[in-house]
Chains A and B, each alone.
Chain A
Amino acid sequence: MDLAALLVTPFARLTELGGLLLVIPLMLPVVGLLLAPLLRGRWLGGGLLGRFTLLLLLLGLVAALAVATAVLTGDEALKYYLGGWLPPLGVALKADGLSAIMLLLSAVVILAVGVYAQREFQVPPDASETRASLVFWMLLMGVWAGLNAAFLGQDLFTLFVALELLTFSAVPLVALDGRAETLAAALRYLLFALLGSVLYLLGAVLFYGTYATLDITLLAERISGEPALPPAVIAAAALMTVGLLAKTALFPLHLWLPPAHAGAPPPASAILSALVVKASFFLILRLWFDVMPGALTPMTAQILGGLGAGAILFGNLVALRQARLKLLIAYSTVAQIGYLFLIFPLAARAESAALTGGMLQVVAHALAKAAMFMAAGLIAKALGHDRVRDLGGCVRVLPLTLLAFGLAGLSLIGLQPSGGYLTKTLLTAAADGTGQGWLGLVIQVGGLLTAAYLFWVFGHVLFGVPSTPAMPIKPPGRAQELVVLALALGALLLGLVPPALFDLVEVGRAGLEASAAVATAMAGAFGWSKLWGDVWPLLVVGLLVLGMLPWPDRPAGGSPRPATTSLSVTGHWAADLGTLLEPADRGLRQWPVAGLSLLILLLALAAAISTGA
Chain B
Amino acid sequence: MNDPTLFGLCGAALVGLGLYGLLCQPGALRKILAFNLIGSGVFLLFGVIALRGGGVLAAAGRGIDGDPVPQALIITGLVVAFAATSIAVALLLRLAETSGRTTLENEAPPAPSLPGERASRPDGES
Contact = CB atoms under 8 A, between A and B. Distances in A.
A195 B22 CA distance: 8
Contact of B107 (A184, A190, A212, A599): A184
A167 B53 CA distance: 32
Contacts of A474: 115
A186 B113 CA distance: 14
B97 to A, nearest CB: 9
B77 A177 contact: no
A188 B104 contact: yes
B84 A179 contact: no
A190 B87 contact: yes
Contacts of B125: 177-178
A185 B113 contact: no
Interface residues of A, number: 62
Nearest to A209: B49
B121 A183 contact: no
Interface in A581-609: 586, 589-592, 595-596, 599
A326 B113 CA distance: 10
Contacts of A326: 112
Contact of B84 (A190, A208, A264, A596): A190
Nearest to A180: B99
B113 A168 contact: no
Given A187-B28, A381-B115, A591 B45 contact: no
SS class, residues of chain B in contact with chain A: helix
B94 to A, nearest CB: 6
Contacts of A182: 110, 113
B22 A208 contact: no
A258 interface: yes
A198 B30 CA distance: 17
Contacts, number: 157
A198 B105 contact: no
Given A208-B46, A212-B53, A181 B110 contact: yes
Interface string B83-106: 110011001101100110100111
Q: Which of A205, A381, A386 has the most CB of B within 10 A?
A: A205
Contacts of B31: 191
B112 A595 contact: no
Nearest to A384: B116
B60 to A, nearest CB: 15
A595 B22 contact: yes
A201 B77 contact: yes
A324 B80 CA distance: 36
A206 B117 CA distance: 49
A160 B109 CA distance: 30
A263 B107 CA distance: 13
A60 interface: no
A160 B42 CA distance: 14
A207 to B, nearest CB: 10
Contact of A194 (B84, B104, B108, B114): B84
A197 B69 CA distance: 20
A208 B28 contact: no
A24 interface: no
Contacts of A551: none
Contacts of B32: 191
B94 A183 contact: yes
Contacts of B112: 262-263, 266, 324-327, 376, 380, 386
A179 B49 contact: no
A212 B46 CA distance: 11
7 contacts: A168-B87, A197-B84, A202-B45, A208-B46, A262-B110, A324-B111, A381-B114
What are the nearest 7 A-B pairs in CB distance?
Answer: A181-B110, A595-B23, A180-B99, A263-B110, A209-B49, A177-B113, A326-B112
Given A180-B99, A191-B32, A376-B112, 16 more contacts: A168-B83, A171-B87, A172-B91, A178-B98, A194-B35, A194-B84, A195-B35, A198-B38, A208-B49, A209-B49, A212-B67, A262-B110, A386-B112, A595-B22, A595-B23, A599-B19
Interface of B: 15, 19, 22-24, 28, 31-32, 35, 38-39, 42, 45-46, 49, 52-53, 67, 69-70, 73, 76-77, 80, 83-84, 87-88, 91-92, 94-95, 98-99, 101, 104-118, 121, 123, 125
